[in-house]
Amino acid sequence: MDIGIIGAGAVGLLFAGYLGKRHDVTVYARRKEQREQLEARGVTVWREGSKEQTDVGAKSLSSLDSHHDLVILAVKGYDLEESLFITVPTDTPLLFIQNGIGHMDFLKTLPHDTVMAASVEHGALKENDYTVLHKGVGVTNIALVRGVPVPLQRLMKEEDEAFPFEEEEDYETMLLRKLFINAVINPLTAIAGCVNGEMMSNPHYNALIREVYGELLHLYPRMEAVISLEDIESICLNTAQNRSSMLADVENGRKTEVESILGEIIRKASPVDVPVIHTLYLLVKGKESTGRQT
């Protein structure tokens, strides 16, 4: 397939590195310096002590090609609408890989024939403009919002064993499951400044995991059958040395995805009170504000 990837952060580079081995991939990046590096060096993926380089194309957002078989939106949730100011033809299938649920309503407003959403369970850390560390092999779950799943079927047919895809029937349940994981792990690690494993080894942090999970379950009781507290704790243990994307954003003075994760939960919860989640939201916003001023 001919695939366009909008966004060249950790996840965008990870997708480009793996998909570029089997497909014709063009990465759309904002900065000229990064585009030049990608054109010259391709994408380097480090996994388990070995590296693999994949050639990709690189262009600016204003130069989006109209011939792609699939366009993957790998930008943060708060950049989605700006990314789509460029004209993506309505017959081009779109795949969204954002955290949180802030983009769910936005997807329904798009005029495109085929829209898909994904939940990415890989660990990825961007090392530089063209290098990404694959910190944990997981799976990319994809569900159809509307349209036909032809691009997904082609991705699954030609998948890499270290970068598998799975089809989900219900995109809302899929995104809510990832929301539970993000809402528990990301804010707590960002505030505490710790790796995922400390959420289990520190009894005080572990108590907060239980508090947040309880508030989420109060809002979405049906999700207890989909993701348990034990599931989330297992994820913390299995990704013990990983640093969450929200922690990385805070440490680097970048805007976080707290609005599309905790902010959206708070807005949808009203008038139900979620005091622990609201407190975590304010703490992350405080860190975000302080970091971006320095």
Q: What is the pLDDT along the chain (294 residues), one digit of tens a residue?
A: 999 999 999 999 999 999 999 999 999 999 999 999 999 999 999 999 999 999 999 999 888 888 999 999 999 888 887 666 567 899 999 999 998 888 888 888 899 999 999 999 998 999 999 999 998 888 999 999 999 989 999 999 988 999 999 999 999 999 999 999 999 999 999 999 999 999 999 999 999 999 999 999 999 999 999 999 999 999 999 889 889 999 999 999 999 999 999 999 999 999 999 999 999 999 999 999 886 554
Structure-token match 């902010």, residue found: 263
User: 136 pairs with which residues across the strands?
Assistant: 123
pTM for the whole structure: 0.91
Give SS3 for 48: coil
1 CB neighbour count, 10 Å cutoff: 16
Find out whether 264 and 101 touch, Cβ atoms under 8 Å: yes
CA atoms within 13 A on the CB side of 197: 6
Where in the sequence numbering do the catalytic residues fall? 178
CA-to-CA distance for 127 and 9, rounded, in angstroms?
10
The whole-number pLDDT of residue 87 equals 76
Question: Quick one: CATH architecture of 174-293?
Answer: Orthogonal Bundle (1.10)
Side chain identity at residue 235, one-letter code: I
Element at 184 (helix H, strand E): helix 171-192
Which sequence spans correspond to the domains of the chain? 2-169, 174-293
CATH code reported for the domain at 2-169: 3.40.50.720
* Structure tokens, 214: 């309880």
